[in-house]
Amino acid sequence: MGCWRVPSTVLVCLLLLRPPPSAACPTACHCSSSGEVDCSSRALREVPQGLATNISSLWLGYNFITMLGPRSFPALPGLLLLSLPSNHLGLIHPQALVGLGALQELDLSNNYLTVLSPETFLPLTSLTTLNLGSNRLEDLEPEVLQSLPQLQALLLQDNPWVCSCDILPLWRWLSHNREKVQEKALLLCRLPEQLNKYPIMAFGNESFRQCQETSLSAQQYLFFLTVGPFSFLASIFFCTFMGFISVVYHNMRREPHFWRRPHICKGH
């Protein structure tokens, strides 16, 4: 038997000295040794599968991605930049960005976003730059931005902002965080018509005085719409009932013989 036997220690050394296999790269993307993955302009309709967990930058711009579902990305603990501009992105699930805790820069510009949930950016505790420019946002809840403790640069230009009383909370946040707002002059009202192209940052406290005095939440409106008719009907019923009791009482006092047993007259 002419079999060669390799000592186990030598075999272990050879395995240790062998270079590690290269990280997987999605077919539609170009991956560099520095951890950058470029999947731009590849007609993608979803986030590509098979992303290596050690990437640092992911470029997904100029594709046809319409939504980010729950956990659209694998856990990418080293990802610092995520770029998704010029897609058809209209919906981001509140759990879509879970696993991207190290992310520092997020570009969502030139998409179709109309609303963002306050939970959307909760996983991004390290985010410093957020670009929401050129979307279809008419309003933005301050809670969406308050979930980003490290935010330093925010871009909101070229959105169709509706400058009604509903924008007051966002205006307050912007006024208290002016140093974070980029391109301030491009934050313009679209509606109402008389305020078209009026800069949001040019408003003052007096501009919202009427809103602060008379504004009611949807829950308050619903409460009044429900309690009002109920109280009206209850008052009518109560007044009718009390009136009936009053009439009966007065009749009893005026004609007490109606309620007495009749006497039987005996003949003599």
- Beta partners for 155? 131, 182
pLDDT at 133: 97
57 close to 29: Cβ distance less than 8 angstroms:
no
Give the percent of the chain with pLDDT over 70: 74
Q: What are phi and psi of 59, to 5 degrees?
A: -105, 120
- pLDDT tens profile 123-179: 999 999 999 999 999 999 999 999 999 999 999 999 999 999 999 999 999 999 999
Mean pLDDT of 219-239: 59
Q: How far apart are CA 130 and CA 85, in angstroms?
A: 12
Sign of CA dihedral 226, 232, 237, 242: positive
pLDDT at 253: 63
pLDDT at 15: 40
Peptide bond into 192 cis (omega under 30): yes
88 close to 112: Cβ distance less than 8 angstroms:
yes
Asked if pLDDT for residue 264 goes beyond 90, the answer is no
Vertex 71: Cα angle to 77 and 63 (nearest 5): 95
Residue 67, CA distances (Å) to 40, 41, 150, 176, 261 in order = 16, 17, 26, 32, 86
The DSSP call for residue 40 is T
pLDDT at 256: 55
What's the mean pLDDT when you consider all of the chain? 83
- pLDDT tens profile 90-134: 999 999 999 999 999 999 999 999 999 999 999 999 999 999 999
Asked if pLDDT for residue 267 goes beyond 70, the answer is no
Mean pLDDT of 63-79: 95
Most confident of 10-24, 148-162, 210-224: 148-162
Ordered structural domains, the chain, with CATH? 23-227 (3.80.10.10)
Q: How confident is the model at residue 218 (pLDDT cuts 50, 70, 90)?
A: low
Mean pLDDT of 199-224: 72
Which pair of structure tokens corresponds to residue 166?
Answer: 């509903």
98 close to 79: Cβ distance less than 8 angstroms:
no
